[in-house]
Structure formats: structure tokens, C-alpha cells
């Protein structure tokens, strides 16, 4: 082979290696899909150990959480509910009892099998019942569900709820509507209970309410006991708390246990709004949870601003508040932070670009929304490392350095080779 051909061959090899290095470098960015939509996690393959039970039995079953998006979801919960009064369209109208588990971190397109047990209430029986399993975000947003129909034998001692609504003045609203309550107004939860049994039932209603923007603060309240005679009824009118007129979307549920703690009526939820500045963080997802110093981290934030006012069909045009997002390592060290004003009435999702200041293998996120120093919303989420997850940036970066080292070695060998040829010719 002539000297010119050898030089050309060496240049070709080096250019190929440099090209490979460039390709690898182009792929070191975060594997992130900039999809501006809510997470979608469905329930698949719901299976129970049998179809007929006795009241108070323990059900054993399994289901699969399926993330149909390419984007990971870090704050998924599952909820197992005993439902009833199924209609011809397969939808349940009554929900008796539920239990929640999680959170789960699902990678993009991941399917994860979950095993569970559930103890049936002793006071619920019937042929038109079912176990409904739902996939929820941490804020309670329901993404998907599946039902498995069952029969439960036993004595039915449930009190029927014939009416339930929220009233403000002379206006009445459905439990899920969320009417706005102004500073000088009062709102009431009104319920009518009917006892279809042949014995007197005494219930002790219990109410649990929290601000959707700050779900960690829960207020537990008692309504007072009520005795319902056989085939009789009772009306309950409960004034909803206004929390010192602190603006927000308030979510609650009411339970009806008897003196022994057995649920004697269907637990149900409701919501109402204290008018004012409102912001809610609905979910947070990272594109990676294992990071090295200097790594890019994309944070997908789902949120909402001022709720639609059903009483006057209006919504606040602008809701600009201070958004602060902090990411902490497994040791509690601050790894990255984002702090800028944002209009919470514009859109429902945003992607924030952060950069890691240190290494971490287990991230925790804290989000705070403020206006004038007052906290409007808080959100915390533990983001465990995904099993088997690899740091693609670090691996690709290491590969690039190995390729550069190979180029340097080839260049040195080539230079000595050419010098040797030159000396030989002399």
C-alpha cells in the first residue's frame, strides 16, 4: 500500500470515529417527550379469586397499571372500591367503601401488575355489586378504571340517601359542581337519610375536608349523632367551614358509621370553592430520577388556576403567582430549583428545564405557589429511582471520552508510523 493510500485510510478511520462520537453526543440529551397532555394510566386485567362472597370476607385479586404514554408518571395511586347499583351501560351509581395504595412510578409505556386484598364491609350485601379499581394522580384526578362484578350474601343494613346537595341561600348545587362561596355567605351540606330496615339505626356522621391545593392539611369534623326509626327518615343540614375565608377548592367526604364503627350508609364526596386567588398543582413528573452533576432535568407540571364560577358563569382572566419548584436528593440536599412567576389561568401543563447541581439516586420534589408571600398551594412528591434505570447522559458521555482517547492513540501511532516511513526513505 502506498504512503498516500495509508494516510487516506488513516484519515478515513479517524473521521468515522469522530462521526460516531458526534452521533453519540447528539443522543445525550434527556429522553423526554414534550407532550402537552394529561397522564393516561389505565387499569387492565382485573381479576378476583372468585365471584361470590359473604359480607365481611377478604377478597384477593390483581390488576395491571398501564401507562399508555411515552412519558413517565411519578405520582400514581390505585383505589379499590366496592360499588353497586350497576346500570345497563355498566356504570355504577353507588360507592360504598374504598381503599387506596401507592404511589407508584411508572416509566413510559410500562405495565405493572399489582396484587391486593380488600375486606368487604359487614353491612353491604346484594347481587348487583362490583369491585372497581381506579388509577389516580396524587391530587385525586381519576385517569382510568375497571370493574369486576360480584355477589355478596349477608344481611343488608344500609340506610338510603335520598337527597344530597350543597345550598347557598336559596340556590342548590350538585355535590360535584363546586359552587363559589363569597365572604359574606354561608354554605350548607344537606342530606336526607331513609331507614328501610325493621330496626332503629343510630349513625354518627363524620366529615373530612381539605384544600385541594394543600392536601396535607385535613380537617376532621363531627356532625352529631342521629337516630333513624324503622322505615323513618332524618334530615341533616351541616354548615360547611370557610377556613377563615382562605380561597381555594375544598374537597370533602362524609361517612356514616354507627356506634360500632360499621358503615351504615354510602360514603360520598363533595366540593365547594371559597372565592379568591386559587392555584392547584395536580401532578409532577420528571424525565429522570438518577442524575449526575450538570445533567438536564425536565419537570412536567400539571396545574389549574381560578375555577369556573358556576353561579355567574365567569372565570378570572389572569392568575399570575410565584412558582417555586425544588428537587432534593436522597440526603435532603437541594439539587435543582426553579423560581419564576407564572399565569395559572394559561394552559394546564408546562415543562420546566432544570439542571442538577450534584449527583442523586432518589429525588424528592417540593412545589410552592405564593402571592405576596401568602401560600396558595403546596405539593410534595417522593420520586423513587426506577429499578434498572440508567443515566444515559453519563453513559454516553463516558463513551464519548473513550472514543476521543482512541482518536488520540490512533493519531500518535499514525504520526510515528509516518515518521518511520519518512526516515526509511531518507
Q: What is the pLDDT of residues 190-229, one digit of tens each?
A: 999 999 888 898 999 999 998 888 877 788 888 888 999 9
Give the model's pLDDT for residue 407: 67
Say which residue the cell 401507592 belongs to.
102
Fold of the CATH domain 162-274: Immunoglobulin-like (2.60.40)
CATH topology agreement for domains 162-274 and 278-383: yes
CA 3, CA 183: separation in Å to the nearest integer?
A: 91
Give the model's pLDDT for residue 34: 37
| pLDDT score of 395 more than 60 | no
* Closest alpha carbon to 320 in 370, 367, 283: 370
Average pLDDT of the segment spanning 93-101: 82
CA 42, CA 145: separation in Å to the nearest integer?
A: 6
- Cβ neighbourhood burial of 56 (10 Å; 0-12, 13-18, 19+): middle
Classify strands 320-328 and 363-371 as parallel, antiparallel or unpaired.
antiparallel
What is the 3 state secondary structure string of 118-150? EECCCCCCEEEEEEEEEEEECCCCEEEEEEEEE
Fold of the CATH domain 41-153: Immunoglobulin-like (2.60.40)
Domain 278-383 coded CATH 2.60.40.10: yes
Say which residue the cell 365547594 belongs to.
272
Give the model's pLDDT for residue 146: 95
More confident residue, 64 or 90: 64
Peptide bond into 226 cis (omega under 30): no
Q: Per the structure block, which three cell numbers stand in for 304? A: 389549574
352-380: b (≥16 Cβ within 10 Å) or e: bebebbebbeebbbbbbbebeeeebbbbb
Q: What is the pLDDT of residues 297-348, one digit of tens each?
A: 999 898 988 888 888 777 677 899 999 999 999 899 999 999 999 999 998 8
CA 53, CA 76: separation in Å to the nearest integer?
A: 29
CA 409, CA 204: separation in Å to the nearest integer?
A: 81
Q: Where are the domains of the chain?
A: 3-25+391-425, 41-153, 162-274, 278-383
Say which residue the cell 411515552 belongs to.
70
CA 201, CA 272: separation in Å to the nearest integer?
A: 30
Task: Give, rounded to a whole angstrom, the gap between the first and last alpha carbons of the chain.
Answer: 19
* Closest alpha carbon to 240 in 308, 179, 312, 194: 179
Instruction: Kindly report which listed range (12-16, 147-151, 183-187) carries the lowest average pLDDT score.
Output: 12-16
CA 212, CA 281: separation in Å to the nearest integer?
A: 9
Instruction: Kindly report which listed range (169-178, 282-291, 373-382, 396-405) carries the lowest average pLDDT score.
Output: 396-405
**Is-contact 240 233, C-beta < 8 A?**
no
Mean pLDDT of the chain: 81
How does residue 28 score in pLDDT terms, banded at 50, 70 and 90?
very low
| Strand order across the beta sheet in which 233-239 lies | 171-173, 160-168, 188-194, 233-239
Amino acid at each position: 500500500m502506498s504512503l498516500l493510500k495509508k494516510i487516506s485510510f488513516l484519515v478515513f478511520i479517524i473521521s468515522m470515529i469522530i462521526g460516531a462520537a458526534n452521533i453519540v453526543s447528539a443522543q445525550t440529551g434527556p429522553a423526554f417527550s414534550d407532550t402537552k397532555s394529561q397522564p393516561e394510566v389505565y387499569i387492565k386485567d382485573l381479576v378476583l379469586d372468585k365471584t361470590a362472597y359473604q359480607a365481611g370476607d377478604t377478597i384477593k385479586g390483581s390488576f395491571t397499571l398501564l401507562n399508555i404514554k411515552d412519558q413517565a408518571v411519578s405520582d400514581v395511586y390505585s383505589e379499590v372500591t366496592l360499588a353497586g347499583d350497576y346500570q345497563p351501560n355498566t356504570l355504577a351509581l353507588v360507592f360504598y367503601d374504598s381503599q387506596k395504595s401507592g404511589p407508584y412510578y411508572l416509566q413510559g409505556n410500562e405495565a405493572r401488575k399489582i396484587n391486593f386484598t380488600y375486606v368487604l364491609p359487614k353491612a353491604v350485601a346484594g347481587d348487583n355489586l362490583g369491585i372497581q379499581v381506579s388509577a389516580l394522580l396524587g391530587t385525586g384526578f381519576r385517569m382510568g378504571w375497571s370493574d369486576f362484578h360480584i355477589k355478596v350474601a349477608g344481611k343488608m343494613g344500609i340506610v338510603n340517601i335520598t337527597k344530597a346537595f350543597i345550598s347557598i341561600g336559596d340556590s342548590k348545587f350538585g355535590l360535584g359542581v363546586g359552587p363559589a362561596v363569597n365572604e359574606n355567605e354561608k354554605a350548607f351540606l344537606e342530606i336526607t337519610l331513609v331507614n328501610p330496615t325493621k330496626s332503629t339505626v343510630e349513625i354518627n356522621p363524620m366529615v373530612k375536608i381539605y384544600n385541594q391545593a394543600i392536601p396535607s392539611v385535613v380537617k376532621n369534623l363531627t356532625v352529631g349523632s342521629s337516630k333513624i326509626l324503622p322505615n323513618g327518615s332524618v334530615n341533616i343540614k351541616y354548615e360547611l367551614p370557610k377556613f377563615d375565608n382562605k380561597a381555594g377548592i375544598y374537597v370533602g367526604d362524609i361517612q356514616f358509621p354507627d356506634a360500632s364503627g360499621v358503615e351504615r350508609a354510602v360514603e360520598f364526596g363533595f366540593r365547594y370553592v371559597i372565592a379568591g386567588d386559587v392555584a392547584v398543582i395536580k401532578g409532577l413528573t420528571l424525565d429522570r430520577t438518577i442524575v449526575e452533576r450538570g445533567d438536564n432535568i425536565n419537570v412536567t407540571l400539571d396545574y389549574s388556576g381560578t375555577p369556573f364560577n358556576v353561579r355567574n358563569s365567569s372565570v378570572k382572566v389572569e392568575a399570575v403567582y410565584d412558582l417555586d419548584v425544588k428537587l432534593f436528593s436522597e440526603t435532603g440536599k437541594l439539587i435543582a430549583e426553579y423560581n419564576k412567576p407564572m399565569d395559572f389561568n394559561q394552559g394546564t401543563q408546562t415543562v420546566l428545564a432544570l439542571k442538577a447541581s450534584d449527583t442523586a439516586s432518589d429525588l424528592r420534589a417540593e412545589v410552592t405557589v405564593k402571592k405576596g408571600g401568602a401560600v396558595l398551594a403546596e405539593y410534595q412528591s417522593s420520586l423513587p429511582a426506577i429499578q434498572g434505570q440508567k443515566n444515559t447522559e453519563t453513559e454516553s458521555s463516558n463513551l464519548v471520552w473513550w472514543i476521543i482517547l482512541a482518536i488520540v492513540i490512533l493519531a500518535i501511532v499514525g504520526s510515528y508510523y509516518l515518521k518511520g516511513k519518512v526516515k526509511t526513505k531518507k
